[in-house]
Amino acid sequence: MTDSGDLAIPDDYGLLLDSLKERVRSAQAQARRTVNTQLISLYWSIGQDILTRQEQDGWGSGVIGRLAQDLHTEFPDMKGLSRSNLFYMRGFAAAWPEPIVQQAVGQLPWGHITVLLDKKLGHDARNWYAAAAVEHGWSRNVLMNMIMNKTLERSGAAPSNFARQLVAPDSELAQQIAKDPYNFEFLGLSGEVAERDLEQRLMDRMVETLRELGPGFAFVGRQVHFDVDGDDFYLDLLFFHVEQLRYVVIELKTGKFKPDHIGYAQPDVMPAAA
């Protein structure tokens, strides 16, 4: 054992830590797959209901438009319930008549599925490309290129066990599932997650950002806390301008700018919005 003050570190601590890290990553990947599968199953079931109503009751596009409006009223943050997406859901249910939970397409993000629907592929071709995307971890753009390049015809459509495989956790497909805005909307997290992602991307390119802001700016910190009359506030990004001797606050918002975004700024803070 190695002693560090009063802390005794076991010799196999590193192996245990690596094992726990892998367990956490595996659980995260499983959670993302579960959320995505639940969302895709929901979209399929909505499409199936619309398809059935059209066949039995003669629903037209006007009814679907009204349905989209009413769903938007109830779930205003879910852009996935738009009129155009409802038509995609109908096409989804028509293209895969059987429940998709045990099919490869059930592991794909919604954006991949819309690509498969847009390309007007045959039943076997759709299944082949869906399964190949899962096995090889294709991103949406790669899937589009593979279809355009007629990869199925070139490969000879060899038998495979694609549908029994899980999305590789380190693939581009897994990364897209992890950041899929439809999943965030489904969980009611879209705004907060998107803003945090935007903040992290800006942090990753801080040098370029400082150059864009111009000379004289120094980075102070992110999520900087201050108190106003007992209320806690956190600034997304805080800068200091060495020539003007003023702080500059950048609040990151994914929606349209609103005056209350800077309502708590103090006189000695020059607010800016990005």
Each residue of 55-87: pLDDT tens digit?
888 888 889 999 999 999 998 888 889 999 999
What is the average per-residue pLDDT within 24-47?
88
Looking at every residue in the chain, the average pLDDT score rounds to 80
Instruction: Express each pLDDT in 130-155 by its tens digit.
Output: 988 888 888 888 899 889 888 888 77
- pLDDT of 89 reads 95
State the pLDDT at residue 193: 64
Decide: helix, strand or coil at residue 150.
Answer: coil
Beta strands per DSSP E along 120-181? none
CA–CA separation, 105 and 42 (whole Å): 13
What pTM was computed for the model? 0.65
From 32-46, 95-109, 179-193, 235-249, the region with the lowest mean pLDDT: 179-193
Contact 115, 143 (CB under 8 A): yes
**Distances from the Cα of 255 to the Cα of 145, 187, 245, 259, angstroms:** 32, 18, 30, 12
CA–CA distance, 81 with 68 (Å, rounded to integer)? 6
Q: pLDDT per residue over 179-223, tens digit each? A: 777 777 777 766 666 666 666 666 777 777 777 778 888 888 877
pLDDT at position 170: 67
Q: Is 213 exposed, middle or buried (0-12, 13-18, 19+ CB in 10 A)?
A: middle
By CB atoms closer than 10 A (0-12, 13-18, 19+), residue 144 is middle
SS3 (DSSP) at 179: coil
pLDDT of residue 41: 93
| Angstrom distance (rounded) from CA 31 to CA 25 | 10
